[in-house]
Amino acid sequence: QIEQQLGITVSIGLSYNKSMAKLASELDKPRGFACLGQQEIIPFLADKPVSWIWGVGKATRARLYKDGITHIGQLQQRGESDLVAHYGKFGYRLYRFSRGEDSRPVETRRQAKSISAETTFATDISDPAHLERRLWQLCEKVSHRAKTAGQCGTGITLKLKTKDFRIRTRSAQLSAPSNLAAEVFQHAQRLLAQETTGTAFRLIGIGLTGLEQPGAAQQQPQQQTLLSDPAPRHHVVEQALDAVRGKFGPHAIDKGRGFAPKQK
């Protein structure tokens, strides 16, 4: 089904830990399935080259060859302290992998390091106001994704691509962790102003970096009022916008800064 729908082949490896499952997935390519059991692993690995060990590159392989070690079975005959004495911390990996040992947990989901969005223009844009409108729309996308994921960011990164395909990036730290579109845009707008000097761009993107769980201030915006300081006001306004969009759809209500001015 994967090959039919996506046009790519898949090989599957099944085993009792991560390293051996990865190894099994390499045994029957393409479109293969291989299984390595714990009881058979020692004899199976014995005649395999040391290059099968994850992390053994050209330099390590050359050193092992120099020491007369070409196959994993030779490592199986050495003690852990002996290998550590000869190869330092890497000796632990040589010892354990040669015996099919790997205690690393299987992580089915990895926490994203950043949340980003970008758009490529049909025609290059140099007008600062037009770029800001596109930037605001991206900030709202990133904000929505961050809120949905229950994440706040501590920094932002602005990405621009010029008409000659040169990439420009600028980064800034937020004054406090946030996932609010208004606060992300406020900082991104300053970064954009440093680049809009007449240059035409074909792509713009914004990323929220340094993700972490929101603190009490981000989790309880309902305690603020519209008459409070600007930062808390952003919480209240966006909470109201999110509520409307959640009930009536993502485009039920939008801020004016995302629209182009009408031509007279």
pLDDT grade for 229, boundaries at 50, 70 and 90: very low
Q: Which residue has the tokens 């915006």?
A: 221
Closest CA to 175 of 134, 227, 234: 234
Residue with the bigger pLDDT between 220 and 69: it is 69
Residues 11-21: what's their mean pLDDT?
93
Give the end-to-end CA distance of the chain in Å, rounded to a whole number: 55
Predicted confidence (pLDDT) per residue in 27-86, tens digit: 988 888 999 999 999 999 999 999 999 888 889 999 999 999 999 999 999 999 999 999
Tokens standing for residue 199: 């240059």
pLDDT computed for residue 254 by the predictor: 66
Tokens standing for residue 257: 């800064």
pLDDT computed for residue 3 by the predictor: 78
Of the listed ranges 8-12, 40-44, 62-66, 95-99, the least confidently predicted one is 8-12
Q: How far apart are CA 48 and CA 257, in angstroms?
A: 63
Whether the link from the prior residue into 43 is cis, omega within 30° of 0, is: no
pLDDT computed for residue 232 by the predictor: 59
Closest CA to 244 of 234, 253, 235: 253
Task: Check pLDDT > 80 for residue 255.
Answer: no
pLDDT computed for residue 148 by the predictor: 87
pTM: 0.53
Which residue type, as a one-letter code, is found at position 182? Answer: A
Task: Check pLDDT > 90 for residue 204.
Answer: yes
Q: How far apart are CA 29 and CA 26, in angstroms?
A: 6
| CA dist list (Å): 242 to 136, 144, 216, 236 | 16, 8, 19, 10
Task: State what percent of residues in the chain have pLDDT above 70.
Answer: 80
Residue with the bigger pLDDT between 262 and 25: it is 25
Tell me the pLDDT of the chain averaged across its residues.
Answer: 85
Tokens standing for residue 104: 């690393």
Residue with the bigger pLDDT between 53 and 244: it is 53
Closest CA to 234 of 196, 188, 184: 184
Residues 214-232: what's their mean pLDDT?
48
Task: State what percent of residues in the chain have pLDDT above 90.
Answer: 59
Domains, the chain, in order of start with CATH, read: 8-98 (1.10.150.20), 114-256 (3.30.1490.100)
Task: Check pLDDT > 60 for residue 87.
Answer: yes
How many Å separate Cα 89 from the centre of its chain? 29
pLDDT computed for residue 4 by the predictor: 78
